[in-house]
Each structure stands twice: as C-alpha cells, then as structure tokens.
Structure 1
Amino acid sequence: MPWATLLTSPSPPITTANRSSLPPPSAATRHHHHHHRLPPDRLALLIDKSKSITQLLPIHAFLIRHGLDRHPILSFKLQRSYSSLRRLDYSTALFHRTQNPDVFFYTAIIHAHAVNNLHQQALDFYVRMLTHGVEPNAFTFSAILRSCPIEPGKALHSQALKFGFDSDTYVRTALLDVYARGGDVVSARHLFDTMPDKSLVSLTAMITCYAKHGDVDGARLLFDGMEERDVVCWNVMIDGYTQHGRSNEALVLFRQMLGLKVKPNEVTLLTVLSACGQLGAVELGRWVHSYVVNNGIRFDVHVGTALVDMYSKCGSLEDARLVFDMIEDKDVVAWNSMIVGYAMHGFTEDALKLFTDMCRRGVHPTDITFIGILSACAHAGSVSEGWKFFHLMKDEYQIEPKIEHYGCMVNLLGRAGHLDEAYELIKNMKIDPDPVLWGTLLGACRLHGNYGLGEVIAEQLVSQNLANSGTYILLSNIYAAAGNWDGVARVRTMMKGGGVQKEPGCSSIEVNNKVHEFLAGDLRHPKSKQIYVMLEEMYQWLEAHGYTPQTDIVLHDIGEFEKKRSLEVHSEKLAIAFGLISSQPGATIKIVKNLRVCSDCHTVTKLISKITGRKIVVRDRNRFHHFVNGSCSCGDYW
C-alpha cells in the first residue's frame, strides 16, 4: 500500500499478508513491539529526534497501528517533521486528515509552504483558515509574510491591522521586509520609523532596503548608528557597496569587521571575493582563499566558483584553473565562470576546449556559456567560428539570443572589419538594440576608418535620444581622426548642453594589500612627487628606444606639445610608475582600468615590459592584456 494512501486510510489490522508492505521494522519499531503502551510524550520526543524520512516513517506506521495517528499533539509534530524534511506532500496529506485543525496546525502548514516559496498555496491555506472561523495569531502572520511578494503582502498588512497584530514586533518586521524587498522604500521607512523598539532584524531589513535601491549612504548611516551588529548585517552593508561598484569601501568595511573580531561566514566571503574581482585585488583574494581553507569553511561549488571568478578577474588564470579542477560537483555556473575567465584573457582555444568537455559530460550550456564562447571568438577574430556558435545556440539548444549575444557578434564582426555585416545584423535583430551595441559598431567604424558609416549611425543615435557619453566620445573621435575639428566642437557643445559627462579614465593597482586608484593627471597620491619623477625616467627610456607619442588620438585641437603632455599622464601610466617604485624588481605589475586601454598606452606598456624585464598585466573594459618582453597577449588586436 503506497504511503500517501496509508496516511489517508483507516489503519488496517496487521496480518502476515500485509506486513511486508510496511517499512522494515527499525530498531525503534522493534523496540515498540515490546512496549505497546509507550506514552505520547516519549513518542513526541522520538518524532522530534527523527533526522530523516527513513526514521520518521516507521514511527508513523507505529502510530497508525496503535490508533494514535489522530492524537492532536503527535499528529501536529508529525506534520511539522515531514515539512522540515521537505516532504510537503506527506505533511499536507496529514493536515487534510486532521479534524478541526486549530491555529497551530494552520500556522505550521502555512509556514511549511512559505519557506518553500509556495506563496499561493500558503495564501490558500490562510483563506481556508478564515472561512473555517479559525483566527490567526501573530505567528501565522510572521509565517505567511515570510518572503511574500508585495501585492499579497499589502492585503495581509490590512488583515494584520484588522486582527490587531500590526504592533507585534515580529509581524511588523516581517511587513517591513515585504515592503523592503518589493522596493516600496517609503512604506518600509514609515513602518520602521513607527517601531517603538527597533530589533536587529528590522534594522537589517531597512539597511537591505536602502542598499538594494542604490542609497548606500543612507544604509551606512543606519549601520553606523547600530548598537549591536551581527554577521548578517555586516554582509548586507558590504554587499551594498559591492553591488554598486564601490568595492574599495566594501573591502575597508570587511577589514573593520575582522578588526572587531566578527567571524565572517560563507556569504561574507562570497561578497568579498566579488569585490576583490571588481578591483583586481588578488592579494586580499588569496587571503580569503586561505581563510576558507584554514577555518573549516565548506569548499562547495559556490565558494569554488567565486574563487575561480576572482582569480580570473585578477589576472591569475593558473590559480583559477587549479581551483576549478578542485570543485567536485561542478554545475553549469562553475563551468561558465572558467569559460568566461579564459575568454577574458583571450585564451580562445582553452575556452572552446572547455566548452566541448562540458557538453561531453552532459552539462547543458546556458546563455552565459555562449556569451563566454562568443567573446572568446571575438578576441581571436574567428568570424566563422563565431557564426557557428551563434547558430548552434539557437538551433541546438533553443536559447534565444539576448542583447549581450548580439553585442559579442557585432564586436566580432566589427573588429574583423565586416562592418556592413554587423550593421545588417543590428538592423534585423528581433530585440531593440541599445546604445552599447551601437557604440560597439561605432568603435569598429573608427578602428577601420569608415567615417561615413560612423557618422550615419551617430547622427541616428543623437536624433533618437539614444546617445550616451560613450556615443558622443566615439563620434568626436571619428571627427578628430578625420581632422574635422568643427565636428568635434559641435559634439562637445551637444554634450555640455545635454549635461553628458565623460567617464574619467581610472586605473587601480594593488600594493601591499591596499588598492591605489589613479585618474589622468592625478596629483592626490601621497607619493605623487616620486611617481612623476619615475614617469620622467620612463619617458627617457622610451625615447632611447625610438618611441614617438601617438598624438593623433588626442581629441583636442591643441598644439603638439600639449597633446604629448596629455598622453603622458594617462591613468595607467601613473599606475605603472607607482608599481615600479613600490614593488621588488622583476615583480609582476597588475593594473585594472575602467575604460578601454588607448593605443598609445598599449605601445608604451609593451616597451616598458621589455625595458624593465617585468610582466605587466592590464585588465581594461574589454579584456586582459599580458605584456611580456615587448609584446602583448592580445596580438595588438583588442
């Protein structure tokens, strides 16, 4: 007899014929045969102690055999245990057998569905409870509001008011959480402000709300005012900084947390690894790695993938691969992070080989996998391979291309000089192209000197209000390259009129566990004087090696000398100079740049790697460049 039927039918007398269909008697049930009169509290204890479904079923069978299956307390405990063991089908079947369930039965079954994100079912039980005249209590509301969507949450808020539970701290905190997650900052703040005693949970919910919706400073104000903080609340704040591109502040906060002896958990470490990846702070990333190893934190697929991602973004592909090979149950996210890592560094062969391995092992690729593969093809200029994967994605795996896939294809075609093909692809897309996509094509027009097509696209973007700062910069680049200074001036005026700001070039370098950031012409660094002395020296070496500055890329209609000066103080050159004076001779210099590296800096970095005998790794917005002995891993194709 199947278990579901066993739960819902009256218990049959046990005969030799049907004994075999019950579970084999465990030690517990064998023991019970001698103690027919086990008191309910002993049975309740046995149910509570059951850690698996195989332990629980014999006890349930025993209850049915001895007519104790309708005992309210035992039945309630069984229902709860089935829920906690993720057997909702059993606990729901039990619930339906219960005669006149009270508020505790209802609350338990509502809670069981809510924790498994089955909100509709939880709400159905709540409605059923009201129609049967059972009044909810504060725990019912806390249970049903747990991760509840905002619309039903609002309706439940009015129910809580009606039953007078809106002032209960737990109910109020749960409501605050509903509004915070749903993005209704105003309602969340109103609830928070009218709370007489603000618990740690409600403070954390409010900080989460601010951080999630971009008001990181508002979140920090609340955070700083807290008397006690647990690890969850530190995590929310560190994550808030990381999510909004303020990774340096995230890492500063993490160090404070360690200084106050707050023990980080897996969530903390995943967030910190993400911040290290954004900044290229490999030393701190390594420290986190050793912390995981030495503090008994489980090296699971999530931690492993975060480490692969961090090492790849910090330019240490060997470490990324070592960690990747250590991950036991690799899921598609783990495979993707390694494929994207190889693509980022321009290791196209390795990315494609990994893709083949992954498919051979029966792991299904996702849209992210194809972003990795297509960008790997773009870095190598493999047009036919790119088209092959683009079609494979749709035809073989039924993955509809997203804007990012089109972006990779336009980048691939554009850089390989197939401008008309790229333009056709954009025009025939099923989804609306965004400014980034057009910007990619504009960049390719500039690269191949096709100013005609570039102007057509740019004018179109400006007229449709789709132009962003990048579009304007590319357009003025195109005009400047063609020597059309009137055009450049017109674009500058349009930018000022539209309040468009050029994103300033910023380069960062990690020295002794601290990340130093430089803007072009920066004088804010405490070691500015030494940096500029080093810069002068670098230019003497460069001139001795026959270097001439590429002043044609400077976008101002100014004299040659000023153009040369403006090139000399680009942010990555300052970062390299700082790296040279701050590290041991022969040590690798790693730099992270927020924009695409310019051709002059690229030439300079190649020469510096040759002159100093150092490896210089630069991560720009597009990819990694490994400069060794005068040549770059990108083969001057970036």
Structure 2
Amino acid sequence: MCQHSSKTEVMPRVNSSKTDGRRCASKPMCQHSNTLLHFLRHVSFPPDAHLLPSALKSCPAQPLARALHAAAAVSGLAEDPFVASSLLHTYLRLGATSDARGVFERMPDKSVVGWSALIAGYSARGDAKAAWGLLERMRSAGVEPNVITWNGLVSGLNRSGSALDAVKALVRMHGEGFLPDATGVSCALSAVGDVKEVSVGEQLHGYVVKAGCRLDQHVVTALIDMYGKCGRADEISHVFHESSHMDVATCNALVAGLSRNAQVSQALLLFSEFVSRGVKLNVVSWTSIVACCVQNGKDLEAVDLFRKMQSKGIEPNSVTIPCVLPAFANVAALMHGRSAHCFSLRKGFLHDVYVGSALVDMYAKCGKVRDARTIFDAIPSKNTVSWNAMIGGYAMHGEAANAVQLFCLMQKCKQKPDLVTFTCVIGACGQAGLTEEGRRYFSEMQHSHGISPRMEHYACMVTLLGRAGKLDEAYDLINEMPFEPNGCIWGSLLGSCRVYGNVFLAEVAAEKLFELEPENTGNYVLLSNIYASKKMWDGVSRVRDQMKNMGLKKEKGCSWIEIKNKVHMLFAGDNSHPMMTAITEKLKQLTIEMSRLGFAPSTDFVLHDVEEQEKDDILAVHSEKLAVALGLISTSPGTPLRVIKNLRICGDCHEAMKFISCFEGREISVRDTNRFHHFKDGKCSCGDYW
C-alpha cells in the first residue's frame, strides 16, 4: 500500500454526506450573512443611500454582498443610482459577474461608467466574446466608449491571460482613433510582451515618446518588461538609463528581463546600484536576483546575495527557498542548505510541495541521499516534481535498485510518470550497468505510457549501451533516430568511446560535435584524452592545434568543498588559495604514502607527450585532489569530506581517492558532472564503473 496514496489518508475524515460537506464549508459565510441581516432587521433606523454604499465598499465576500443587496431591495434603495452603482462595482470586484450583469440590466440610466465597468469585468474573466458584445450593445444604446472603456477592455483581457485578444483590442482601439493614456499603454505593453510582438511594442514605445509619458514610472516598468519578454536585452538597459527610475518595480522588471536574456552580469551590476542608492527593495526583488544567478550558473553569487538579503532584514518566503536551494546544491553548501531547511520548518513551508521537492534535490546533490528520502517521505502531497527529484537523486548516487523501486511505487500511487521520470530511470540503469532493464523502460515509455522519446531519452540509451561496451549498437541507434541527433547524443557516444578506447567511433562522434558545437572545448579535450590513452601523440597535437587556431582554451578543472560553513573553490594548478602551501605539503605526504602502498599514477590521463615525472606533477594538482587535501588538513580525523567538481573525475584521481579513503580512514564523496562517487575503505560506490 502506498503512503499518502490519497487525500483521505492525510486529511481528517468527515462522516457526512456531500450535501453536509457543502453546508459545513459555507457555514462561516452563512453565519456572517445571517448576523448582518439580523442587524439590518433590528436596527432602529433603516439603511439609507449613504450607509449601503459604504458597507458595500468594504464587503469581503459574495454572500455578504448578496445580503446587502437583499437589504437594499427590501428597503427600496436598489433602484437608487448611487446604490446600484455600488452594487455593480462590488459584484465585479468579488468576481460575481452574472450578479453584476443582473444589477446593470435593471439600472434605468446606463452610463458610460457602468458599461465600462461591466466590459472590464467580462474582460478580466477572459470572456472576450461577451466583452465585445457589450461594447456593441453600448453603442447601439447611444453611449460611446471612451479611453477608460478601452483601457478596461485591454487590461482585463491581459490580466485574464488572453494576451492576444488584448493586443487585438489595442489595435482596434487605435484604429478607432482613441489614444491610450499611460495606464492603457502599460497594460498593452504587458500583453505585447506575452505574445512577443516586438514590432507592436516598438510602435507603442514611439507613441510613448510622442505622448510625453516615457518617464512615467509604470510605463518605464512595462517597457522594460516587454523588451525582456521579447528578447531585446539591449533595449532593456537603454530604457532604464534613459529614464533613470530607481524604484522597486523597475528593479524587479530589470532583473527579470535581463535574467530571461542571460544577462546576469548586467543584472548584478544594476541590482548593486539599486542597493547602493538605498532603494527599498522587497522580497520579490531579492528572490528575483537570486533566481537570476542560479539560472545562469552564478551559484556562489546567489549564496552571497541570499545572505545579504537576510542581513538587510528581508525575510525569505516560500518562493525564495526553492530558488536558492539549487545554488546550495550546486556548490555542496550543505550547512547553508540545512539552515534553509530549519528556517522552512520554523515558518511552516515544508507543506509546500515545491519547497519539499527543492530540499530533496538539495540533499541528494550534497551527497545526503538518505536525508533526501526522509524529506521526500514527509511531503504530504507529492507531485511529479517530487518523485522525479528523489528518483533522480538515487540515479545520481548510482542506486539503481532504489530508483527502480521508487519508480514502481510512484505508479502504484497513481502518479503518472513524465518525460523527466523516464530520463531519471533509464539514466539510473545506465549508471549501474542494467542494460536490459534500461531497454525495457525505454520500450514501456512508448508503448505503455504513450510518451514519444525525446533527445534526452536517446542520449540515455546511447550512454546505457555505450557503457555496457555495445558501442556499435549505440551507433546504430543514433542512425535510426527519427530526428537529427544533437550534441548531447554524440557527446554520450564520445564519452563511451573514452571508456573503451574506440578511436574510430570517437573520431566519428567528435567530427559531428565539432560541427554542432565548434566552441565547446570539452569535446576537443575528450578526443585528446582518447588519443593520449592510446599514446597517439600526433592526434593529440592535431586537436591541440585545432583548438589554438580557433582561440579555444581547455576549461579549468574546478572543485568546491564546504568547510566550517564556508565554501572553498579550488582550480587545477592554481596557487591563489591562502592555504596552498599547507595543501601542497599534504599532497606530498599523500603521494609518499600512496607510493608506499603500491599506488602508481595513471599517466594515461595526461594530454601531452611529456616526461613521466612531469605527468605525475600534472596529475598531482587536479582540483579534486587539492580540495580533498584542504579538507584533510582543515577538519578533525574521521570527518566525511564532500567535493563537487565541474568536470568528470579522471581515472587517476578516482584511484587516488580510493587509496586516500583507506589510509586516512575517511569517507570521501566526489560529485562530478556524471554522478556521485562515494569512497570508503579503499572502494568506490560506482564499482569502478562510470
């Protein structure tokens, strides 16, 4: 039996019929209505044309509005123009469009204000047909629409999500000779951005300049938002610098627009300017810039901004936490992640499925897959994102059996798997060498669940077959794909060729990758690795010259390790870390001890044809070794070490970690771009299969 298989297992049971349930749910509103009616019946003075509109203005719910409406009808005030108008606007404000329509139809004097309000109400519901119909009736009744009428139509349609209808209304408004004011322009620009009609947006921008409202705060914000949605990052900065508006709304629009267009450096620069100017930014502002950094690979900056946000007295909300947790996960900042977990617990955010799912992902990526499962089990109402996060976590740790088991449980719980689910499951099978199981899930995805494989599924299958040594079969699968393979597909094949030293297929895959991703240095380096492992130094030189001619440089290896609540970043061959002297000394001691135990560096993983001693020196300064050495000298004996690397761990470092875990008596976790490696007592969780 699945845990939390239905809402009835986690919600209080109600021993009543559906009718009783409805009565129970509406009881508080009924009590308020009855109390108000009782008051109105027993007051010593009758409600008048001033009392009722005042009460309607502050009316919070439809039942109370109807009670007041009944009181007005009983007292004969429902026909009063002032009272009727108040009833109309109250019903529209509360979303009771049909009630508002009834009030309006009974009004003897239907003014442009009433018509405009009702048209705006139907527009806000997304009922464009009814709104246009009312506009035609309005004209037939001899009442001409004004700018307010058109503004309500455009803004209402835009708010309801009918952006295309809103743009059409704007075009018709202009065609009939109405010139929108600043309010109308702001609403129209939002709709234009949603449908990405940048040419219309540029015309509106020109109109704004001519109309003299280009410095209006709301117009500036709307222009920035529109250009951001339309992918015009250059215009975002131009509009901002032209207006020099420094308010919270402008800041939020700037960050969102620049983030959409991967202009994270510019977003950070402008955000810092807002902070230095003392603009009162809110939680939305800080959450936006944190999310911007995370989405664009600036994880350390996101962590720093999150801490600054708290130091400014801005409290994170249930949106901020899921935004920042991926940054903690990406740099293995476990202590920061745990602090966010505790904060969420205190604030009651853990019932939010997105907070819970982000915590599952964070713990899994920080090497704590058991903690991730504890959080997962505690999520009261799981969605597909939650299941995928946990299945993906198991896959990352090479725990294929647990991933498959959870996948089966997901289906028993009547949760439908999606594209991501199958990517995680097939990927988990590939990590553990479960070739036949992976094939079965690939087939089930199509035939049992009706999901057509996408590029990522084929990439998983190529990896699955390639890692099992079935390189020719993987190549055949690529040729049989129903669409052109991308860099991910050929990259999967090239990675498998590295494991098995298949130079022929490696050259085929690399040639395709050089066409598809000419500036991706990783592909050149991987081919060079294959040549180097075969001591084909002419091939290494050829690839190196090709990179040089294209102005490409190998991406530096970088590793992160968290020590005492601080994340340290170390680069391969870099001596800038303040503790580098002690790190180097520790590495020398490790080398001596490993040599004594019989460890010989695997120099096949060095790209260049250099002397053996020089190869040893190159291998000694790989970033993951630097990080582990720092961890060893900075923590007490027996403390587990967790390292994150931006590249795939090489075979030499993999062997070295096994030796270090043995004679240092440490558990060492290394997460590379492919998976987690857990080293303990001289063994790795991957079983040397990665």
TM interval, short-chain normalised: 0.7 to 0.9
1:424 is the counterpart of 2:476: yes
Counterpart of 1:592 in 2: which secondary structure?
Answer: strand
Partner Cα distance (1:517, 1:202) in 2: 34
Report the AA paired with residue 210 of structure 1: L
Give the Å deviation of 1:52: 4.5
Counterpart of 1:510 in 2: which secondary structure?
Answer: strand
Structure 1 residues 228-267: aligned runs within 5 Å: 228-230=279-281, 231-267=283-319
Counterpart of 2:95 in 1: which secondary structure?
Answer: helix
Give the Å deviation of 1:550: 1.0
Give the Å deviation of 1:289: 1.1
Query: Which of 77, 81, 92 is 1:79 aligned to?
Result: 92
Give the Å deviation of 1:198: 3.6
Tell me which residue corresponds to 2:623: 571
Q: 1:567 to 1:465 in 2, by over 3 A?
A: closer
The TM-score with structure 1 as length reference comes to 0.88
1:385 is the counterpart of 2:437: yes
Query: Which of 437, 456, 459 is 1:407 aligned to?
Result: 459
Give the Å deviation of 1:448: 1.6
Give the Å deviation of 1:533: 1.3
Q: 1:209 to 1:362 in 2, by over 3 A?
A: same
Give the Å deviation of 1:257: 2.5
1:145 is the counterpart of 2:186: no
CA contact (8 A) 1:79 1:90 kept: no
Tell me which residue corresponds to 1:115: 159
The count of aligned residue pairs is 616
Give the Å deviation of 1:34: 7.2
Q: CA RMSD in A?
A: 3.2
Report the AA paired with residue 305 of structure 1: S
Residues 541-589 of structure 1 show CA distances to partners (whole Å, capped at 9, x for unaligned) of 2122221111222221111111112112211111111101111211110
Q: 1:89 to 1:528 in 2, by over 3 A?
A: closer
Residues 492-516 of structure 1 show CA distances to partners (whole Å, capped at 9, x for unaligned) of 1111112222111111100111111
Q: 1:335 to 1:465 in 2, by over 3 A?
A: closer
Tell me which residue corresponds to 2:237: 189
Q: 1:463 to 1:238 in 2, by over 3 A?
A: closer
Q: 1:52 to 1:471 in 2, by over 3 A?
A: same
Tell me which residue corresponds to 1:475: 527
1:200 is the counterpart of 2:213: no
Residues 120-156 of structure 1 show CA distances to partners (whole Å, capped at 9, x for unaligned) of 3334555666678876443333334346424154454
Report the AA paired with residue 471 of structure 1: N
CA contact (8 A) 1:69 1:75 kept: no
CA contact (8 A) 2:658 2:681 kept: yes
Tell me which residue corresponds to 1:178: 226
Unaligned runs of 5+ in 1: 1-22
Tell me which residue corresponds to 1:338: 390
Give the Å deviation of 1:186: 2.9
Query: Which of 593, 597, 613 is 1:545 aligned to?
Result: 597
Query: Which of 587, 590, 614 is 1:535 aligned to?
Result: 587
Give the Å deviation of 1:281: 0.7
Give the Å deviation of 1:199: 2.8
Partner Cα distance (2:340, 2:591) in 1: 38
CA contact (8 A) 2:547 2:553 kept: yes
Which is worse superposed, 402-411 or 46-55?
46-55
Counterpart of 2:325 in 1: which secondary structure?
Answer: helix
Report the AA paired with residue 447 of structure 1: V
Which is worse superposed, 104-113 or 263-272?
104-113
Unaligned runs of 5+ in 2: 1-28, 99-120
CA contact (8 A) 2:69 2:87 kept: no
Give the Å deviation of 1:244: 1.9
Structure 1 residues 221-232: aligned runs within 5 Å: 221-226=269-274, 227=277, 228-230=279-281, 231-232=283-284
Partner Cα distance (1:42, 1:111) in 2: 31
Q: 1:400 to 1:29 in 2, by over 3 A?
A: farther
Give the Å deviation of 1:195: 1.7
Which is worse superposed, 483-492 or 37-46?
37-46
Report the AA paired with residue 94 of structure 2: S
Q: 1:106 to 1:597 in 2, by over 3 A?
A: same
Query: Which of 369, 374, 397 is 1:322 aligned to?
Result: 374
Tell me which residue corresponds to 1:213: 261
Partner Cα distance (1:69, 1:446) in 2: 85
1:484 is the counterpart of 2:536: yes
CA contact (8 A) 1:308 1:320 kept: yes
CA contact (8 A) 2:357 2:385 kept: yes
CA contact (8 A) 2:350 2:356 kept: no
Q: 1:90 to 1:500 in 2, by over 3 A?
A: closer
1:631 is the counterpart of 2:644: no
Give the Å deviation of 1:163: 5.7
Partner Cα distance (2:126, 2:37) in 1: 20
Query: Which of 394, 406, 412 is 1:360 aligned to?
Result: 412
Tell me which residue corresponds to 1:453: 505
Partner Cα distance (2:360, 2:544) in 1: 42
Q: 1:458 to 1:131 in 2, by over 3 A?
A: closer
Q: 1:75 to 1:578 in 2, by over 3 A?
A: same
Q: 1:439 to 1:131 in 2, by over 3 A?
A: closer
Residues 38-95 of structure 1 show CA distances to partners (whole Å, capped at 9, x for unaligned) of 4455444554545445555555677788655983343123212218999955998699
Partner Cα distance (1:32, 1:144) in 2: 44
Query: Which of 642, 660, 666 is 1:614 aligned to?
Result: 666
Give the Å deviation of 1:527: 0.8
Report the AA paired with residue 594 of structure 2: L
Tell me which residue corresponds to 1:19: none
CA contact (8 A) 1:48 1:81 kept: no
CA contact (8 A) 1:596 1:622 kept: yes
Q: 1:302 to 1:200 in 2, by over 3 A?
A: same
Partner Cα distance (1:75, 1:508) in 2: 62
Partner Cα distance (1:520, 1:133) in 2: 66
Q: 1:42 to 1:112 in 2, by over 3 A?
A: farther
Partner Cα distance (1:352, 1:460) in 2: 34
The TM-score with structure 2 as length reference comes to 0.81
Q: 1:142 to 1:449 in 2, by over 3 A?
A: closer
Counterpart of 1:625 in 2: which secondary structure?
Answer: strand
Q: 1:465 to 1:153 in 2, by over 3 A?
A: closer
CA contact (8 A) 1:83 1:91 kept: no
